Amino acid sequence: QLEESGGGSAQAGGSLRLSCGASEYTYRSPCMGWFRRDSGKEREGVAAINEDGTSNYANSVKGRFTISRDNAKYTLTLQMNSLKPEDTAMYYCATDWSGGSCLPDHAFDFTYWGQGTQVTVSE
């Protein structure tokens, strides 16, 4: 089970921190990631992190977003800074048990998904 929280509204240039709570078993996934989808657009991979902390980011968020894992709380987080209106979307966390590359543009490897949390960024 995955449950996202922390979404909401922010102004451009502001920050939000998303969290994804998981059961202990689910959290042990070798790879976890964040994805987003805005209405009328295709799903976009945002960031992914493997169990040793190696992370990868979409070019659109590199330098602004940080993905991390809290092993004590079984929580995946996404710190979003310098938000832009184009970051507006529903954000989802997901797990990848394939043992593959753990990349955000490999959505096909992610098999368990949360329900999402909405992020809205205004000018």
CB 105 within 8 A of CB 59: no
Per-residue pLDDT of the chain (123 residues; tens, 9 = 90+): 899 999 999 999 999 999 999 999 999 999 999 999 999 999 999 999 999 999 999 999 999 999 999 999 999 999 999 999 999 999 999 999 999 899 999 999 999 999 999 999 999
CA 108 distance to own-chain centroid: 15
